[in-house]
A and B are shown apart, each in its own frame.
Chain A
């Protein structure tokens, strides 16, 4: 497992992360969501021991990761900057990482490359962006570390490659309980691949939960009542958003569907329509509930 405990990190007078707490379970696929500059890459760099926290603890299996070779050998970090090893061929890249990670499997590397078929004897600075990306992804999987961190994981990969990479990750998750941490601003991707996710905004975590439990727990309600209804009529439910347009009341309510239904039915609506929200809608309303204006420039 990986833990961030009360982590704060500043760059000069800019606070990149502000008292962050995060727990990542072993064997899970964890998604880091957020806009550009929200702090996603900073979290990954802390987890891989590239940065040192100003205060707080960054722990991998209970051990502080910064300056800790043992802990770092459990982690492979796929950076969003394309490979720094332009002068090397794929063959040399493989040998390089073989020397660093004891768990590296040359066999697995070759079998992965049998699928994507990158040239092994060509210098990588001659590779396209997508090819460099593929090279580092298969290297990361072949390193067979306990943890694989992917920054903007699927950027630069075409749809075929995305599917192939996802399948490689499925194998690794089943065969050796690989833990992946994936940052992205693409909710759809995170929804497919991850089982839990955290939303970062301006260096803070807005929320952090199991994706299945978020879905199906927030509902959009459209109802028409005989009398005039205000938000105060619904204080016994957790209402995230309340709006009236002519005679129709629109609400976003969190909680158990049956409870909400019974509660509203007691108020004898003429019309009642309850629709569960998409993950995307939930994030937007949750942010609004926490005082962030999603319509603004944040």
Chain B
């Protein structure tokens, strides 16, 4: 949008000498969400902190047999890194904390091989979705973690409304949610229903004080939702910045930032900083 990248310099950091992952199962997704907050409150910043809901656990378990507990409502994967001692102390601390938070089971990987197996499931979530449905649509909203249970409940309600299955994987440490909507593009109208479903999920994320995209960015998809997250002045400012780099509008025109006309056609109800009009009305 702003230029053609021809070279990139990045900072490198030494790799941690040791890392280990643990897996915790919860019978209640709300408790799993609270456990994440408690880990952070304890001053622990894990190298990875991921959550999966029951539907995604079952989907990957059928696929890669990672050994996940398929009766759990949610599982958490928490990886710590540092020196061996540091990791051992941290894992003991996190295990105690997860017990207190109501985890029904906590498994600490005994070695690198088991650590890798714990991760295999999470990393296979996207292909697993592809295995159980002809198509899937991945969303990327980010929310304050404290609203996780509420957002997941909202997604479940939307799933019923649109009659489409959804599985959820979640970069829990960052509040970054990846609902994967399962659909079949060969069925007339299903893609459009999927897009409408996705749009409502993003609207929900904005209403909760979050954002429509945490890491995937906006191209053509999600461009309409930009009209909800930003007001016209803000969109104007984006266009002015683009023009400063690309006066003739040659680079990826029409992507990432919608024109005000497009927003008018989309008929967006702008929600600013999570302040909802008529908050007393139920929205999902």
Report whether chain A binds chain B: no
**Residue positions of B touching A, CB distance < 8 A:** none
